[in-house]
Chain A
Amino acid sequence: MAIESEVLVIGGGLGGLTSALAAAREGADVRLVSYKQSTLRQASGLVDILGYTPDGDGPLTDPYEAIPSLPEAHPYRKVGVQTVRDALSLFDDAVPTYEGEHTDTNALLPTHGGSIKPTARYPAGASAGLASDTRDTLLVGIEEMVDFDAPHVAAHLDATGVPFDVRGETIRFPGDLRADAKVTRYAKLLDTNSEVAVRGRMVPAREALAQRVNPLLEDEERVGFPAILGDDNPGAIRDALGDHLGVDVFEVPMGPPSLPGLRLEDALFSALDEAGASIETGNPVVDFEGEDRIEKVFIEKNGAKIPNSADQYVLATGGFVGKGVESDRDGVYEPVFDCHVPHAADRYDWFEGELFGDHEFARYGVATDDDLRPLDASEHSEFENLRAAGSVLGGYDFAAEKSGSGVSIATGYAAGQRAAQEAR
């Protein structure tokens, strides 16, 4: 016996979650297995479709318009523009706290480094911070949070030529948290609105935070904080701060560990739960049985190999960072099914001398047919019931193009939907 399902999705990032959701909504009995907690915890929580062309042109105004001119090997070319649109609709439906679906045009969002990023969907909490908005802005940094130096970020934003005045101020967060307090500590304090001591008087945390910012506010009409404003109730916290300050409040997405990423993870897992899928995290898929078809895969749990079988499989284990693609001195490989990963035989051809050069390794991943089935070295599909989605796919450079989440959502959607149709 084995633990059975119709569709088994391997990987709990954006690609895996979208695959599982698409398959479950198609009516299939779906199981998602993920080695570790979702890598969304390390992600900004922004959903980019395409910010720059592979040649570096951009920021692009309309990502959909640019897709047909992408190289043929690009995952977007495999699934087509309409699938990208359908996949984004699924996302919008599953994550109603996101904005940006009103237009095809990329939004421009300030980052915690002070650059401007073209993105297609963003959390509601970031929406008052759009760079195309002309309202003057105050950025508030927290003394202990060295990842967000507000005056520095403001200066960088100013240098990009944003159409508003921007200023940065740094405050001590009320409540005397330790110098290296976890982002969750700030979030929890604001979520529960616990009382903190301010000059000997106990004040609810949200009010205390607003009191610290109030005297610094000049005539700015919006205030941006690093993304620490709550885990469970971010909307209520922003509203409360906004009321106290009399301005709009927004969050600037931060690096890992990222609260917007955590919130997105929660939203997608709840959507998956509602769609009736089974979910297991904490143990890796390490092996499989089967020749042309995958019969079962094995999840390793402290030495025990637990069999899981399904009719259709989706491989969404991530790229080099997520360890869905690995390399050693001999070559580049995909560790679960040993799917072929096209790459230059000589390692010195994998990269360029310049740090930000056009590195080949950035595009390494499995190649697929138009149905997203991984191809072997002679361009035949590796297994008839395996599809790949997300950054395990090759043929695109998500970091340079700003296309990571869009590709994961689009290919995840396509792989999940097709797997479900075939399984039923």
Chain B
Amino acid sequence: MSDAETPPETDFDPVAPNTGEEFEPVDVFPDSDDFDLRPGADSCFKCSTCDTNCPVAEVDDDFPGPKFQGPEQWRLKQSDDDHEIDDSVMDCSNCMRCDNACPSGVPLSQMHNTARGEYVSEQMDKLSVEYIRNRILANYRTSAFLASKVPRLANFAMNFGPARWVMEKTLGVTSERDFPAFAKQTFRDWWADRGGQVQSRENARAARKRRGLPEDADKKVAYFHGCYSNYNTPEVGKAMVRVYEEFGYEVVAPEQKCSGTPMFANGMLDDARRHAETNVSSMSELVDEGYRAIASCTSCSMALRQEYPELFDIDGVDKVAENTFEAVEYLRIHEDLKGEVQAADVDGDLAEEFAYHAPCHSRNQGLDRQAVELFRDLDGAEVEDVGDSCSGISGTYGWKEEKYEKSMEIGEEMFEHMEHAEGETGMTECPTCAMQMEHGSGYEIRHPLELLEAALVE
């Protein structure tokens, strides 16, 4: 273009997105079936740094890597109207590490999610075993909901050898792994028995009084506990509640469904959208009332913060994204958490040396160092980072029979580091990383909130 010509007025900026500017949400469902792979594609200058971050490409020679799945698929579609999404996109585990790598801010994971959505919606046989298997895995919440009604039976049945053999042969769910145990009492049942929001308000008031804060101080959070801490590890949810109440926060546990993480990873965007609508609607109302959404699972906070606004145009989605925090992160910002931890000590069964693994989805929120740095000066416990490799399980990825070996190969580096670490108890924020850590090392795995509870709550 010559300098004399004024460029036409348009919203399209070839160098956007750049420093944290918002991406235009792509309206994928339900009005239109057009999957738009474009956003940010033109900012890719093919430095390939994303490829050096991809844990799948590192071990799987058939996987072409994030640069191909995102910007290159878009380019191929431009030159060939009949171009179909390459089926390798189903091998992406949605760890989202590529996002953090790109020096020009290409929204790679958004492109992968969109490409996967298009592949599943338009190319995948809905009667295939793979589709059915993926759908069951992605809708973990449904299985967990049913299982939690009969936890003892479910715990037995899900790990009953012959049944697992059949599951592997017919559905392709690996029989190598142990299904996570279902809690005898879910978090929500515990929460209701305990007196719900009313009790929490009382506890928070008492704590504020103890701390010399005004009793009517406006400190309140809405807990997005996610499926796992509800059905499998309610101790994490309880720790979250007790720690927040200790700082004088009133906690509510609003209506919620799955965050959608396993659905994004399997291209089930219809399912994910349904769940997201419920979550956004209940969280956005609370945000208007002054609550902040707090998650203890880093994949849940990642979904609310990043994947929802990137993929869905739902009323209030940006507002919820802006007001969602990871549980420890929020306290670091608003309380003198460092000071309190430094002044505290732990004894009992959490006075341990921990082998800590930062989940990919905490890494992508800039939280990978949080636990290690926070507990540095805590008397009685040690937290040692076991390195920056991916654990390899990536939610449903490591549960698929054909991916199991690769999942363990990716995790190998973490297992080795865990073995060399001083501690023999693991620590992580992510439920499926915890599964993988336990599976590969035999260690018991705790959540940082549990250590925080032991240190700060009477």
CB of A160 within 8 A of chain B? no
Given contacts A42-B47, A280-B366, A283-B366, contact A304 B325 (CB under 8 A): yes
Given contacts A181-B61, A182-B58, A257-B51, contact A281 B100 (CB under 8 A): yes
Q: Which of A184-213 contact B (CB under 8 A)?
A: 184-185, 188, 192
Q: How large is the interface on B (under 10, 10 to 19, 20 to 34, 35 or more residues)?
A: 35 or more
Question: CA separation between A180 and B69, bound complex, in Å?
Answer: 13
Question: Given B49, B61, B338, B366, which contacts A301 in the complex, CB threshold below 8 Å?
Answer: B366
Evaluate contact between A306 and B102: CB separation under 8 angstroms.
no
**In angstroms, how far is the closest chain B Cβ from the Cβ of A59?**
27
CB of A69 within 8 A of chain B? no
Question: CA separation between A236 and B432, bound complex, in Å?
Answer: 34
Evaluate contact between B323 and A304: CB separation under 8 angstroms.
yes
**A268 contacts which chain B residues (CB < 8 A)?**
none
Evaluate contact between A323 and B333: CB separation under 8 angstroms.
no
**In angstroms, how far is the closest chain A Cβ from the Cβ of B39?**
15
Evaluate contact between A2 and B333: CB separation under 8 angstroms.
yes
Given contacts A36-B101, A282-B100, A302-B305, contact A188 B364 (CB under 8 A): no
Question: CA separation between A323 and B105, bound complex, in Å?
Answer: 11
CB of A303 within 8 A of chain B? yes
Question: CA separation between A88 and B303, bound complex, in Å?
Answer: 44
Question: CA separation between A302 and B329, bound complex, in Å?
Answer: 14
**A280 contacts which chain B residues (CB < 8 A)?**
366-367, 369
CB of B80 within 8 A of chain A? no
Given contacts A42-B47, A281-B100, A306-B333, contact A301 B305 (CB under 8 A): yes
Evaluate contact between B373 and A278: CB separation under 8 angstroms.
yes
Given contacts A182-B51, A278-B373, contact A335 B19 (CB under 8 A): yes
Given contacts A256-B48, A257-B52, A278-B373, contact A185 B61 (CB under 8 A): yes
For the complex, count residues of A whose C-beta is within 8 A of B: 46
Interface centre among B49, B305, B368 (most CB of A within 10 A): B49
Evaluate contact between A281 and B366: CB separation under 8 angstroms.
yes
Question: CA separation between A344 and B295, bound complex, in Å?
Answer: 50
Evaluate contact between A185 and B58: CB separation under 8 angstroms.
yes
Evaluate contact between A257 and B65: CB separation under 8 angstroms.
no
Question: Given A3, A37, A192, A303, which contacts B49 in the complex, CB threshold below 8 Å?
Answer: A37
Question: CA separation between A41 and B103, bound complex, in Å?
Answer: 10
Q: List 14 A-B contacts (CB under 8 A).
A: A1-B334, A4-B338, A178-B64, A182-B58, A257-B49, A279-B369, A280-B366, A281-B368, A282-B364, A283-B365, A286-B19, A300-B20, A303-B305, A304-B323
Q: Which residues of B come within 8 Å of A, CB atoms?
A: 18-20, 22, 47-49, 51-54, 57-59, 61-62, 64-65, 68, 100-103, 105, 305-306, 309, 318, 321-325, 332-336, 338, 363-369, 373, 376, 412
10 A-B pairs closest in CB distance:
A303-B322, A282-B366, A300-B20, A302-B305, A182-B51, A257-B52, A284-B19, A256-B47, A284-B20, A280-B366
A1-B334, A301-B305, A301-B366 given; name 4 further pairs at CB < 8 Å.
A36-B101, A41-B52, A182-B54, A256-B49
Q: Which residues of A come within 8 Å of B, CB atoms?
A: 1-4, 33, 35-37, 39, 41-42, 176-178, 180-185, 188, 192, 256-257, 262, 276, 278-284, 286, 299-304, 306-307, 321-323, 335
